[in-house]
A and B are shown apart, each in its own frame.
Chain A
Amino acid sequence: MQRIGVFVCHCGTNIAATVDVSKVAEAAKHEPGVVYAVDYTFMCSEAGQNLIAQAIKDYGLTAIVVCSCSPRMHEATFRKVAEENGVNPYMVEIANIREQCSWVHKNMDEGTPKAITLMKTAVAKVNLDAPLQEGEAPVTKRALVIGGGIAGIQTALDIADCGYKVDIVEKEQTIGGRMAQLDKTFPTLDCSSCILTPRMTEVAQHPNIRLFTYSEVQEVSGFVGNFDVKILKKSRSVREKDCTGCGVCMTKCPSKKIPNEFNRGLNFRTAINIPFAQAIPNVPVIDKEHCIHFKTGKCGICAKVCPSHAVDYEIQDEVIEEKYGAIVVATGFDQIDLHKFGELGYGVSKDVISSLEYERIMSATGPTGGHIVRPSDGKEPKDIVFIQCVGSRCEPDDRRGKTYCSKICCMYTAKQSIMTCDHIPGAKCHVFYIDVRTPGKMFDEFYRRAVEQYGVDYIKGNVGKVTPLPNGKLRVHGVDLLDQKEVELDTDMVVLAGAIEPNPSIRPLATKLTLSIDNNNFLNEAHAKLHPVEAATAGVFMAGTVQGPKDIPETVAQAGAAAVKAVALLAKDKLKTNPCVAQPDELYCNGCSVCANVCPYGAITYIEKEVRDHGVRETRRLAQVNPSLCKGCGACTVACPSGAMNLKGFTNRQIMAEVDSVCQ
């Protein structure tokens, strides 16, 4: 028989306001095996922990029940107390009387009986608990960073500088991400490329960093410290080691009319292409969908003109298998498709463009060489209307947009209007806004500069319609809420600050990594405040806009945080493994394979083994669990038709004891 101590926490008034905690403790004293029960204000505090430690000594406790918050919050805390005082940490059960009781009930009449039931359930289970021993697993001293934008670049550099090996997997043919597409950065107006490209070069030259561009994560298995990852390295049809990046192939390629993705479709590229001059690696990719050679078997000009004979149409895709101790996800964002906002003229007039397209137009490496011109006729606009919050801060039932604030648009719109005035003397900029949000160092000063020094015309209100006029101008129909009147502006160009959303590649990747994502496809953190860069899956971290909208400095700071978390993991030589894994009972197992079929982690295999059953010796096919692969999900225990499979710490007997206790 166990000697059980029950510890009921008030959690200040969090629990005590709707649960009569003393009654719960009193009721516990009558439960089988309970030798001590007490309530206390904050059981997780040092004094609360000492109370448990003292009780273990005084009453010779062999098992502990803590009635408190969710086990996700403090199970580890109480297990540690038990272990330090000679009780096996797996002899601790948590009865969640906060999230699942006091917080969901309004008064003690409801809360107290339920808390007592939950306490009884935990006591019933702990009576059947058995001490479990954690195993040990080695740590692979190499990190994987998925995504080669500024978030991934910074994370990789920080990990590599700590002395650990890092691989970056980037699906595009160059690293750099969105930041490479930007012109200037707010609020300092330093050139985005100028601060990014040295970082890109550093990545390329760092002895600890390997770069897999034009590559995708294909498969992930294993667990924290020991991930097995398959990386699909797509064929560039150009040998990286031979190519000098001279670009002759691009000048000669006859397939020239492909919308240039890097310039957001504002101009064309060739089928063999390097997106921009500072690309890393500076090696082209042949786009097989548009290449004449791949479509018809003819052409082959690039191979003929290449001075270093680097073009090779026969190169095949390659799968690289590597082991990693930690994974950082930094897949970034994209701007939402603005074609849904036809009323604002996107897709109707060429002179209505997205803010990211405008960045490309302003950029010296862009389609116009940095000259601000209208896409329709190449003329310099003298009047530009910027519309903010296009698709941001929408109503929940608005299927076109997002409910959240995209956070960066207010600042880059101020920047774009300032830059427009700098590029085009005498230009007039108007900005339609809902609110101007400028919390950040030197942010509000920057916005006021746009208003006060550059005379940017900020109009509080929405735009309902943009109509093209016969003279080539655009008529913007909006409302000025401060003046309480309708506004009609005839302008040369309209720039839409479209909402940002996570890059769509995160969805399949999240499935591969068993990560949780929110309604908007942003990654969920393990804890919004206390574990902001950790995923709920151990060993996986996140950085940048895959977690939520953020600007460059925030992204870089978060990348550093993710890197430290990854390094803290890589620095360990061994990790403790979860002992709550599945275990088959040989006498009940009939080798039917049902459990192996439901196991999501491939942890179950079969062996032929001689067993002795009622004095009869025979060879049987039996299930066997690899404890380092098993995550303790319990799927096999439910699927097993003969009840042979048990999850340690959650055995069928224990679960049934809990159910019985609720039903009594």
Chain B
Amino acid sequence: MGEITQYSYFPGCTLKTKAKDLDRYARSCAEKLGAELVEPENWQCCGGVYPMGSDEIGNKLSSVRALNDAREHGRELVTVCSACYHVIKRVNDDMANVPDIQKRANNYAEFDEPYTGETKVLHYLELLRDRIGFDKVKEAVTKPLAGKKIGAFYGCLLLRPSNILQFDDPENPSIMEDFISALGATPVRYQMRNECCGGYRRMENPELAQKLVGKIFTDARNAGCEELITACPLCWYNLNSYEGPDKLPVRYMTEVLAEALGILDEKPEAAELDGVSCGCMQDAGKEA
């Protein structure tokens, strides 16, 4: 590997609680691939998707602070959680393009220099593809996942709204399939890979979430998937808590990456299925 490059890294609260594997392997894999993920001090929860649902400025300040911190260090900001990526990238777009939000957020934050969307936000997959390069990832693979038929589950938060996130084609995404190929496995494209997993509706309408997830599994199985990978803790939770026909194993993408890079722990910590995936939403749920 060449020079170590530093990136600001926003883990998000779920990765500190329910999705520790997603976080741990994101860091260890990045290190192996020559990227250092530096966690900003005093970061706070991105707010789940709720900051997008209101014009309250308070909900957006966490993202703004993390973005400003990255700017001050002259680094790009990497996240791996789909929800954090979604929120931070959209807040960043607001800070660049919506004068009202820009003004109010800066009035609150009182940075030395007003923040106006200068920081580049990257998803971990974009870090792998655009900064490290899938070819380099491929070279670093020590245990190719040859023969495994893996389906990518994108969910919705990574892809939409596509004009702001500009992550991939929202209807025909391919970045995760390319990632799977780089690991030596066979990517299986299935139609439902960008559908909604039910999201937070799991809380007040679990039957609906079960129904949605059932459709996803059925389609993935029909297409020949043996397992699914995801970058989203909420998707992971909703998919894994499904009880019904056609269920497939679901793992975090970083865990699969660690396996291919040969740095998977012998005894991984048991992933938690109790409670809801996103930390802050757990609290919101209790209040409700």
Contact = CB atoms under 8 A, between A and B. Distances in A.
Interface of A: 340-343, 345, 348, 397, 400, 465-470, 477
B191 interface: yes
Contact of A468 (B172, B195, B215, B222): B222
A341 B169 CA distance: 10
23 contacts: A340-B171, A340-B172, A341-B171, A342-B171, A342-B172, A342-B191, A343-B171, A343-B172, A343-B191, A343-B194, A345-B191, A397-B163, A400-B171, A465-B191, A465-B192, A465-B195, A466-B191, A467-B190, A467-B191, A467-B192, A468-B191, A468-B223, A469-B222
A-B residue pairs, 6 tightest by C-beta: A342-B172, A467-B191, A343-B171, A467-B219, A397-B163, A470-B222
A281 B212 CA distance: 57
A477 B189 CA distance: 18
Interface in B86-144: none
Interface string B143-172: 000000000000000000001000001011
Mostly helix, strand, loop or mixed at chain B's interface?
Answer: helix
A337 to B, nearest CB: 12
A465 B190 CA distance: 11
A469 B192 CA distance: 12
Contacts of A345: 191
Interface in B248-263: none
A492 to B, nearest CB: 17
A24 B176 CA distance: 68
A141 to B, nearest CB: 53
Nearest to A475: B219
A342 B189 CA distance: 11
Interface string B208-250: 0000000100010011000000000000000000000000000
B222 A467 contact: yes
A345 B189 CA distance: 11
Contacts of B192: 465, 467
Given A340-B169, A343-B172, A465-B191, 7 more contacts: A340-B171, A342-B172, A343-B191, A348-B189, A467-B190, A468-B222, A469-B222
A400 B215 CA distance: 26
A341 B223 CA distance: 18
B171, B191, B192, B222 pick with most chain A CB within 10 angstroms? B191
Nearest to B211: A486
A471 to B, nearest CB: 10
A348 B191 contact: yes
A639 B172 CA distance: 50
A469 B191 CA distance: 11
B184 to A, nearest CB: 24
A470 B222 CA distance: 6
A345 B190 CA distance: 10
Contacts of B219: 467
Interface string B59-78: 00000000000000000000
Nearest to A339: B172
A218 B223 CA distance: 49
A376 to B, nearest CB: 15
B171, B195, B215 pick with most chain A CB within 10 angstroms? B171
Contacts of B191: 342-343, 345, 348, 465-468
A470 B189 CA distance: 15
Nearest to A400: B171
A477 B215 CA distance: 10
Contacts of A465: 191-192, 195
A397 B169 CA distance: 13
B18 to A, nearest CB: 29
B185 to A, nearest CB: 20
Contacts of B223: 468
Interface in B16-58: none
Contacts of A467: 190-192, 219, 222
A468 B222 CA distance: 8
A496 to B, nearest CB: 13
B199 to A, nearest CB: 16
Contacts of A340: 169, 171-172
A466 B190 CA distance: 10
Contacts of B195: 465
B237 to A, nearest CB: 23
Contacts of B172: 340, 342-343
A248 B190 CA distance: 45
Nearest to B194: A343
Contacts of A342: 171-172, 191
B89 to A, nearest CB: 16
Nearest to A470: B222
A227 to B, nearest CB: 44
A485 B190 CA distance: 24
Nearest to A397: B163
A341, A343, A466, A467 pick with most chain B CB within 10 angstroms? A467
A397 B170 CA distance: 13
Nearest to B223: A468
A467 B225 CA distance: 14
Nearest to A477: B215
B99 to A, nearest CB: 20
Contacts of A341: 171
A343 B223 CA distance: 14
A40 B219 CA distance: 73
A465 B195 CA distance: 9
Nearest to B174: A342
B198 to A, nearest CB: 14
Nearest to A466: B191
B233 to A, nearest CB: 24
A467 B217 CA distance: 12
Nearest to B171: A343
A340, A342, A469, A477 pick with most chain B CB within 10 angstroms? A342
A643 B276 CA distance: 78
B62 to A, nearest CB: 28
A642 B171 CA distance: 59
Nearest to A342: B172
Contacts of A343: 171-172, 191, 194
Interface string B248-287: 0000000000000000000000000000000000000000
B273 to A, nearest CB: 27
A340, A343, A477 pick with most chain B CB within 10 angstroms? A343
Contacts of B222: 467-470
A340 B192 CA distance: 16
Contacts of A477: 215
Interface string B172-184: 1000000000000
A459 B192 CA distance: 22
A340 B191 CA distance: 13
Contacts of B163: 397
Nearest to B191: A467
B218 to A, nearest CB: 8
Nearest to B220: A467
Nearest to A468: B222
A397 B161 CA distance: 11
Contacts of A397: 163
A353 to B, nearest CB: 16
